[in-house]
Amino acid sequence: MTDTIIVGAGFAGVGMGICLRRQGERSFVILERGGDVGGTWRDNIYPGVACDIPSHLYSYSFRPNANWSKFYADGSEILGYLRQAVQEEGLLPHLRLHEEATSMRWDGESRRWTVRTPQGVYVSRVLIVAAGRLSEPRYLDVPGLRSFAGPVFHSSRWRPDIDLAGQRVGIVGTGASAVQLLPKVAEQGADVVLFQRSPAYIVPRANRTYSQSERRKLSLIPGALARLRARLFWKAEMGFAERIGVPTFVDALQERALGHLEAQVSDPNLRAQLTPDYAIGCKRILLSDDFYPALCGENVRLEPSAVSRAEGNRIHSASGTGYDLDMLILATGFKSTRPPFASRIVGAGGVVLSERWEHGMVAYASTMVAGFPNLFIMDGPNASLGHNSAIHMIETQIEFILGALNYLQSSESDVLDVSRAAEDSYTADIDKRSASTVWLTGGCSSWYVDAGSRRLTLLWPDLASSFRHEVGTFDPESYMAQPTGPVEPWVLDAAAGLASEVRAR
């Protein structure tokens, strides 16, 4: 039996593991369904994959890296950073690869979580789910697609074995993945069609490499990395003003985006098709310098409507146009607001988390759900951002969880559950803050908003710095810590026995 099980070895799970280990904690495992660490950055290997947040901000503050090669790093460099972190921080002994948590169940009697994987059973006091928000591909569901004559694959399930050269390629979607991969696909494909339901606002990326002297300066001058990170952070924070509709900032950003479109696309018809009809910031704002020029290429066509059906190797659009294609790449995003892991988690009284979240994700402090004791969810409800670094949010959650674990350690109780009233109050506050944000008022449909309840369930509707100050410190008074006596030894033995028995099989 271990003290803590972490599910997922992406940025959140690895960061959590590093901080536990640095505290001297050794009784934990990280269960990872894939064959490597890295989460999003392991899964997304499509050509052109890169980050939209500056490298020095999109990395752990406790593992600064003076050697980022570019202002915005490529996916492979980020994956390398995470692999190195796992090795250097001594996480390998804690890592269990190819172990997918198929069932996570709270047992009130033993006060333990039992996590089953196809390989075995793990039992722990604390369960930290860090399964990511960009983990489960959302697929296109249109008639005839299964019988499409060529390969059909999601951008996060890239097929390096497939040669794009001379092929007729369809790309579905205009989100961050599509915008990054289209220019690369267009370099090879004979004929590329981009199916666009609604266009994105795109601003210049203006990426640049860090010179050798810049990198040396960052590594040699004490405090230089932290100063740079702080500057980038506070600069990014200003983007929140655009999300709550402060006119001066919204206008400047919109001007920047539409000016970029005008500068790069001279054809007025194409430009009109690429002009969004919703408020800027409602959907994720994208960064690219090569997307528009690629779209203007002779071998690339924009279909300004969704895919409606497939027939043989012909893809039909909602506008009635048919395209003969050799393959279809689905850059259609992820199941973010309804994470599949929720159907695998069973809390007190046999309540399934996905049922508890029937009307959309909720959690106290964006981390704990009432009735799911000792469960911490990272990157879950209202823990993402539309304007700043996800890693800052992850580190806030790590701080919170460490506080909770330290409290459990020092107090009489070994069960920590948040009250429903506290959770409801937190949720009401989130709803109040969300109401005036562009995500709910901007007139778009986005993956930030729960499709059923129309609540903003993915994003934290405020500044990242507010999240840190309001959520980052664990306050036991807000929780229903349950001081309980020791568990009878036979109950623990039984739980541990089950784990070792199944593992030995």
Positions that interact with other proteins (CB under 8 A): 57, 61, 226-227, 229-235, 237-238, 240-241, 244, 246, 248-249, 252, 256, 392, 436, 463-466, 468-469
Report, in Å, the least distance between residue 227 CB and other proteins. 6
CB closer to other proteins out of 101 and 257:
257
Residues 6+ apart with CB under 8 A from 491: 109, 110
CB closer to other proteins out of 92 and 246:
246
Report, in Å, the least distance between residue 440 CB and other proteins. 15
CB closer to other proteins out of 133 and 229:
229
Report, in Å, the least distance between residue 228 CB and other proteins. 9
Q: Token digits for 165?
A: 């050269």
Picking from 447, 417, 411, 399, the residue whose alpha carbon sits closest to that of residue 349 is 417
Q: Is 172 helix (H, G, I), strand (E, B) or coil?
A: strand
CB closer to other proteins out of 57 and 285:
57
- CA dist 48 and 74 (Å) reads 8
Report, in Å, the least distance between residue 135 CB and other proteins. 25
Report, in Å, the least distance between residue 149 CB and other proteins. 48
The DSSP code sequence of 299-327 is TEEEE-S-EEEEETTEEEETTS-EEE-SE
Report, in Å, the least distance between residue 341 CB and other proteins. 28
Report, in Å, the least distance between residue 464 CB and other proteins. 8
Report, in Å, the least distance between residue 365 CB and other proteins. 17
- CA dist 369 and 357 (Å) reads 10
Residues 6+ apart with CB under 8 A from 498: 114, 121, 123
Contact indicator for 393, 471 with CB cutoff of 8 Å: no
Angle at 135 between CA 129 and CA 137, to 5 degrees: 145
CB closer to other proteins out of 100 and 470:
470
Contact indicator for 55, 232 with CB cutoff of 8 Å: no
CB closer to other proteins out of 62 and 490:
62
Report, in Å, the least distance between residue 71 CB and other proteins. 9
Contact indicator for 141, 307 with CB cutoff of 8 Å: no
CB closer to other proteins out of 213 and 248:
248
- CA dist 40 and 264 (Å) reads 30
Q: Token digits for 82?
A: 């995470």
Range list of β-strands (E), 314-438: 314-317, 322-324, 327-330, 345-346, 375-377, 415-418
Residue 3 burial (10 A CB sphere; 0-12, 13-18, 19+): middle
The DSSP code sequence of 464-490 is HHHHHHHHSS--GGGEEEE---PPPHH
CB closer to other proteins out of 374 and 382:
382
Cα dihedral sign, 218-77-239-182: positive
Picking from 240, 40, 201, 245, the residue whose alpha carbon sits closest to that of residue 131 is 40
Residues 6+ apart with CB under 8 A from 5: 28, 29, 31, 101, 113, 115, 122, 124, 126, 127, 128
Report, in Å, the least distance between residue 22 CB and other proteins. 16
Report, in Å, the least distance between residue 418 CB and other proteins. 22
CA atoms within 13 A on the CB side of 20: 27
CB closer to other proteins out of 16 and 236:
236
- CA dist 431 and 231 (Å) reads 30
Neighbours of 62 (CB within 10 A): 13
Q: Token digits for 254?
A: 């919109």
CB closer to other proteins out of 173 and 461:
461
CB closer to other proteins out of 225 and 499:
225
CB closer to other proteins out of 190 and 226:
226
Report, in Å, the least distance between residue 463 CB and other proteins. 6
